[in-house]
């Protein structure tokens, strides 16, 4: 099969990789209908994360089941399926509590590398959710978004306790932040403040339900949030970047008693204990348990209530993956969909 590998920062290539096989009886192999490039793929691309040559890339996926192991009971060959970037058994105590991303058997799909024609999915019954039937072609981007960015934005909004009567601020205008706006709107938030300096992203944020835009960042951005909230700060803040600046911006934008939902993969973030102590807020986040939300999100997409696929503003054949990485790195694209 063809698949994307990264050799070193800034160097990805589509190469022949061995076809994945059933390795354990609970595996499935899927043929990808679409895959994509994640904001987190830019950490190794930019050299922030180490690259072990040649590293298969990609952890988002939708597709059709081609093979199942002998112990796979609920997922069938021919099903159109979506799974999260963490495979999970969905049966252990952690999964049952809704934290499938930290399942005792959690397996990072990035190891398989789903920017490819085929992918092996471990624990298929626990990991995969089948759609009611083959999807209309125009639903594909939205279903793919559910695999990570929508599920992650949704978890962030839930972790931030977004809901009726709440003012929600969103730090980060990448695909996850924008879908955090969509999630806050669906969860009934009264006011949603998107923090973004880019006109195209501001427009999409408003389309997804943002009521206010704040262009400033850092402490100036915090001051703007305070001005908009009677000096108190937002009830709920979504953090979708993962840097020291964005995390402190999120914490300082939150009122005492409020909630921060943080899903930007933390890079070098160190929290000052004394400030945290007196901030008196709830901090909840981590790798999103997307599997918890998949059935609900698929339903909302299937019924055409939400259209999260709008975050894909560039579509390329898988063979042109390198062009997609460049476009996202240079912020010419919010998110790139790849067609195998």
Give residues in contact with Zn ion (CB under 5 A): 88-89, 92, 95, 103
CB of 118 to Zn ion, least distance (A): 25
Cβ nearer to Zn ion, comparing 101 with 186 = 101
CB nearer to Zn ion: pick between 55 and 103: 103
Bridge-based pairing state of the strands 254-262 and 282-285: parallel
Distance (Å, whole) CA 224 – CA 198: 17
Tokens of 198: 């880019």
Q: Which is nearer to Zn ion, 105 or 224 (CB)?
A: 105
Closer CB to Zn ion, 32 or 95, in the complex: 95
Give the residue closest to Zn ion by C-beta. Answer: 103
Strand 191-195 vs strand 167-171: parallel, antiparallel, or unpaired? parallel
Smallest distance, Zn ion to C-beta of residue 81, A: 18
Q: Which residue has the tokens 């009122």?
A: 255
> What is the C-alpha to C-alpha distance for residues 175 and 216, in angstroms, rounded to an integer?
19
What is the DSSP secondary structure assignment for residue 305, as one 8-state letter? S
Do residues 145 and 213 lie in contact, with contact meaning Cβ atoms separated by under 8 Å?
no
Q: Write down the least CB distance from residue 284 to Zn ion, Å.
A: 19
User: Which CB atom, from 103 or from 321, has the smaller least distance to Zn ion?
Assistant: 103
Are 8 and 53 in contact by the 8 Å Cβ rule? The answer is yes
**Cβ 24 to Zn ion, closest distance in Å?**
15
Cα separations in angstroms, 229 against 6, 224, 255, 280, 297 = 45, 9, 9, 17, 30
Contacts of 258 (CB under 8 A, 6+ apart): 161, 233, 234, 235, 236, 237, 281, 282
The distance of closest approach from Cβ of residue 83 to Zn ion in the complex, given in angstroms and rounded to an integer, is: 14
Min. distance of Cβ 123 from Zn ion in angstroms? Answer: 8
For Zn ion, the closer CB: 60 or 89? 89
């Amino acid at each position: 099969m063809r698949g994307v590998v990264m050799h070193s920062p800034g160097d990805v290539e589509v190469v022949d990789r061995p076809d994945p096989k059933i390795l354990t009886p609970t595996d499935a192999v899927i043929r990808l209908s679409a895959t994509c490039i994640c904001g987190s793929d830019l950490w190794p691309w930019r050299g922030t994360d180490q690259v072990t040559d040649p590293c298969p890339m990609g952890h988002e996926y939708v597709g059709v089941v081609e093979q199942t192991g002998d112990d796979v009971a609920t997922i069938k060959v021919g099903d159109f399926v979506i799974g999260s970037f963490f495979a999970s058994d969905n049966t252990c105590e952690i999964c049952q509590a809704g934290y499938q991303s930290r399942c005792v058997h959690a397996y990072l799909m990035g190891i398989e590398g789903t920017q490819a024609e085929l992918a092996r999915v471990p624990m298929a019954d626990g990991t995969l959710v089948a759609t009611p039937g083959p999807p209309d072609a125009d639903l594909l981007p939205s279903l793919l978004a559910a695999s990570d960015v929508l599920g992650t934005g949704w978890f962030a909004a839930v972790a931030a306790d977004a809901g009726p009567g709440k003012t929600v601020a969103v730090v980060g205008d990448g695909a996850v932040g924008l879908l955090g706006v969509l999630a806050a709107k669906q969860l009934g938030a009264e006011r949603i403040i998107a923090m973004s300096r880019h006109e195209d992203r501001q427009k999409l944020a408003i389309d997804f339900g943002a009521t206010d835009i704040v262009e400033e960042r850092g402490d100036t951005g915090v001051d703007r949030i305070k001005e908009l909230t009677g000096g108190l700060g937002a009830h709920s803040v979504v953090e979708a970047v993962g840097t020291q600046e964005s995390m402190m911006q999120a914490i300082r934008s939150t009122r005492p008693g409020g909630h921060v939902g943080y899903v930007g993969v933390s890079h070098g973030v160190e929290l000052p204990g004394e400030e945290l102590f007196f901030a008196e807020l709830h901090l909840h986040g981590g790798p999103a348990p997307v599997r918890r939300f998949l059935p609900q999100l698929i339903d909302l997409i299937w019924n055409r209530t939400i259209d999260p696929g709008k975050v894909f503003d560039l579509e390329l054949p898988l063979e042109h993956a390198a062009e997609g990485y460049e476009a996202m790195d240079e912020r010419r694209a919010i998110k790139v969909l790849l067609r195998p």
